[in-house]
Amino acid sequence: MSIISDSLKRIKPSPTIAVTQKARELKAAGKDVIGLGAGEPDFDTPDNIKAAAIKAINIGDTKYTAVDGTVELKKAIVEKFKRENNLTYKTEEITVGAGGKHVIYNLMMATLNKGDEVLIPAPYWVSYPDIVLLAGANPLVIECSEEQNFKLTAKDLESKITNNTKWLILNSPSNPTGACYSEQEIKNLSQVLKRNPHVNILSDDIYEHVIYNNFKFFTIAQVPELKSRVVTMNGVSKSYAMTGWRIGYAAGPEEIIKAIAKIQSQSTTNPSSISQAAAVEALNGVQDFISIRSKAFEERRDFVVNFLNSIDGINCLKPDGAFYVFPSCKGLIGKKDKNGKKIENDTDFVQSLLENNGIAVVQGSAFGLKGFFRISYATSMDNLEKAMKRIKDFCESLS
């Protein structure tokens, strides 16, 4: 009899973390590898945020805090939602965890039962289905094609809802595609959700501030009739370049927020007190750098999209947000690399690209849609220029 739990056997390790680790190992072995797999801004955490953390250390703010976040941080989060999203919450409706993934995990563990279904539009962030499986429920994937800009339609949503549907997960801007739902698109989905009051909504807004082309961000909790059924997850990792600080947060119904705290009290307890102090400064301090960095990401996006679309066999949509592109490699399936290995699918494509040309990307099938691959352009323009040339050389070498 295996000592490993059945629930753990149902899931797989995170593919994005795996490809990043593989790139690190190859670099450590002396290989010339450019990693485009990590969803991590290459910018440094701003100095005022780092200074707040240093101050917390110096004044001895290094003890346990309340399980689900300090009052100071919860107040800063309440003000953030009011200032940026015109949403009103009490501190009792706020939870803080050790990263956005931690918050989502706690939410699903606190609310799902066997037989419950969670609707997940694909392409999706790789962890959504596995977290649902760990909670003992069933992820129900809804494929969203390239032709519909990788976005869920109201018609497709309505066709998939059953009596067992407990959650719908929305991620805008999206990982892995960068697709953003407009206010009207959110409201179209909302009409379906209003007719199905048993469906709750998790809105993953972690890339809220990484948007381009004057796109106007709108989150589904801003639909008044749905706010009581929405848990909005966000964090400081992407907008404030604080991935290593591990602070995510969420706002939602008090009953759910208390349930999340109960889970957290028996697992990690509180997030780092020092990181929480830094997050207070992130949310309350100057915000000017966010738009400046988004402009830099936009320039990288334009370069990467234009270059990829110049390669025969590659097609790439231009996203409105996040720092990913999700190009199709379908035009290259069936060809052989220079070692005679046949490219049967997107997994073969990314493996051969890494082995032959030293570029680490993630296969689209890891995100629930075959025939694509994800590139993170959250790296320097110098790296991107080298990487695009290598990708082109690889694609042109296929026969």
Residue 120's pLDDT band (cuts 50, 70, 90)? very high
Cβ atoms of 253 and 78 closer than 8 Å: no
Q: What residues have CB less than 8 Å from 296, skipping those under 6 apart? A: 43
The token pair at 296 is 């830099």
Residue 24, pLDDT score: 80
Question: Domain 63-284 belongs to what topology?
Answer: Aspartate Aminotransferase; domain 2 (3.40.640)
* Top-tier CATH class for 6-44+289-397: alpha beta
Cβ atoms of 325 and 375 closer than 8 Å: yes
What is the distance between the alpha carbons of residues 215 and 233, in angstroms, rounded to a whole number? 20
Higher-pLDDT residue of 257 and 5 is 257
Rounded mean pLDDT of 348-360?
93
What is the distance between the alpha carbons of residues 103 and 247, in angstroms, rounded to a whole number? 9
Residue 124, pLDDT score: 98
Residue 196's pLDDT band (cuts 50, 70, 90)? very high
Domain residue spans of the chain: 6-44+289-397, 63-284
User: pLDDT tens digit string along 155-189?
Assistant: 999 999 999 999 999 999 999 999 999 999 999 99
Residue 321 DSSP class: B
Q: Which amino acid is residue 52, in one-letter code?
A: A
The token pair at 9 is 């056997």
What is the distance between the alpha carbons of residues 387 and 399, in angstroms, rounded to a whole number? 21
User: pLDDT tens digit string along 254-287?
Assistant: 999 999 999 999 999 999 999 999 999 999 999 9
- Provide the H-helix boundaries in the chain: 6-9, 15-28, 47-58, 71-85, 100-111, 127-134, 154-160, 183-194, 254-265, 273-284, 288-308, 346-357, 381-397
